[in-house]
């Protein structure tokens, strides 16, 4: 329970082509030689970052959700990434957390990217998800959430425990703002004394917006353990709980944090 093995998949996405994306991602996932507990896909991995949810959304029993369940069961992994989901007439940029036994959790993206019109097409999420894998507490978030530190801020729990050990961001973050992506991922790790994993896509999307990837894994001191830019990449890394515990004990900055609450 002291380690967590994660595989990140930095990939190009076929614009609004669900069948092609599921096909290529299945090939990549089944080719992973290691035995990770968690495999991470980018934001809107089945379609790309599209503002056409009316045409592309599916329900929770839809094709891509069923595909995630099947792959998680076949590979015996937790599989996560976000999809366009319709529910009660609303559209969500929804991150799914699918376990190998079929059980799941989900997180609806809180901060919609108004610069691209996401707020005009998607309903905001109101609740964070803190989940777990192999004894690690994990906070999964989506892309633009990265710019808003309060939403990911640790608050001490009873017995001076912290809420989570790892923050996970899935993204379609444009290359033109890659400096912000890389800098903020490190900032979130340092300020929360947590591991951070950011998984982004590569290649141009249907609006001819370039994506450089820059997927990263960062330790609680802000040190970069993995970084790949400009190409597709499948990377597996094992994180050590002992390292996290030792850093928090040696530098207990979190004890001095402000207390606060967030309006839903």
Which helix (H) or strand (E) is 248 found in, with range? helix 241-250
Number of domains in the chain: 1
In a domain, 130, yes or no: yes
Measured CA to CA, the distance from residue 146 to residue 140 in angstroms comes to 11
Confirm whether 212 is domain-assigned: yes
Beta bridge partners of 58: 85
Of 143, 112, 118, 142, the closest CA to residue 128 belongs to 142
Answer yes or no: is 261 within a domain.
no
20 domain residue, yes or no: yes
Nearest CA to 229 out of 243, 215, 218 is that of: 215
**∠ CA 191-154-212, rounded to 5°:** 55
For residue 153, being part of any structural domain is answered with yes
**For residue 248, what are its two tokens?**
């928090």
| Sheet of 90-98, strands arranged across | 104-108, 90-98, 78-87, 38-40, 3-10, 233-240
CA 250 to chain centre: 28
Any domain includes 156 = yes
pLDDT in tens, the chain (264 residues): 699 999 999 999 999 999 999 999 999 999 999 999 999 999 999 999 999 999 999 999 999 999 999 999 999 999 999 999 999 999 999 999 999 999 999 999 999 999 999 999 999 999 999 999 999 999 999 999 999 999 999 987 766 689 999 999 999 999 999 999 999 999 999 999 999 999 999 999 999 999 999 999 999 999 999 999 999 999 999 999 999 999 999 999 988 888 888 876
Taking the C-alpha atoms of residue 230 and residue 55, their distance in angstroms, rounded to an integer, is 30
The sign of the torsion formed by the CA atoms of 62, 63, 65, 69 equals: positive
At 108 the pLDDT is: 98
CATH of the domain at 111: 3.60.110.10
Point out the residues that are catalytic: 43, 109, 143
Cα 39 to Cα 5, 89, 207, 211, distances in angstroms: 9, 30, 28, 21
Domain limits for position 140: 3-256
Domain-located, residue 264: no
Does pTM surpass 0.85?
yes
Q: How many whole angstroms separate alpha carbon 244 and alpha carbon 154?
A: 14
- Find out whether 115 and 139 touch, Cβ atoms under 8 Å: no
Query: Is 213 within the bounds of a domain?
Result: yes
The pair of three-digit structure tokens given for residue 181, joined into one six-digit string:
């992506």
């Amino acid at each position: 329970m002291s380690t967590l093995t994660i595989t990140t998949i930095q990939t190009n996405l076929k614009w609004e082509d669900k069948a092609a994306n599921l096909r290529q991602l299945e090939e990549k996932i089944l080719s992973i030689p290691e035995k990770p507990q968690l495999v991470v896909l980018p934001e809107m991995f089945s379609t790309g970052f599209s503002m056409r949810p009316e045409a592309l959304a599916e329900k929770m029993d839809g094709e891509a959700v069923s595909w995630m369940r099947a792959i998680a069961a076949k590979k015996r992994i937790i599989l996560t990434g976000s999809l366009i989901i319709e529910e009660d007439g609303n559209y969500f940029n929804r991150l799914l957390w699918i376990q190998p036994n079929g059980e799941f959790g989900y997180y609806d993206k809180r901060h919609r990217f108004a610069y691209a019109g996401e707020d005009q097409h998607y309903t905001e999420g109101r609740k964070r998800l803190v989940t777990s894998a192999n004894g690690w507490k994990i906070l999964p978030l989506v892309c633009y959430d990265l710019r808003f530190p309060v939403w990911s801020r640790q608050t001490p729990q009873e017995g001076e425990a912290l809420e989570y050990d790892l923050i996970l961001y899935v993204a379609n973050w444009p290359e033109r703002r890659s400096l912000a992506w890389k800098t903020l991922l490190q900032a979130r790790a340092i300020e929360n004394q947590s591991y951070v994993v950011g998984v982004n896509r590569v290649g141009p999307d249907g609006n001819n917006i370039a994506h450089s990837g820059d997927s990263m894994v960062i330790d609680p001191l802000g040190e970069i353990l993995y970084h790949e830019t400009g190409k597709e990449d499948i990377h597996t890394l094992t994180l050590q709980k002992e390292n996290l515990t030792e850093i928090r004990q040696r530098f207990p900055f979190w004890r001095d944090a402000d207390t606060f609450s967030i309006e839903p």
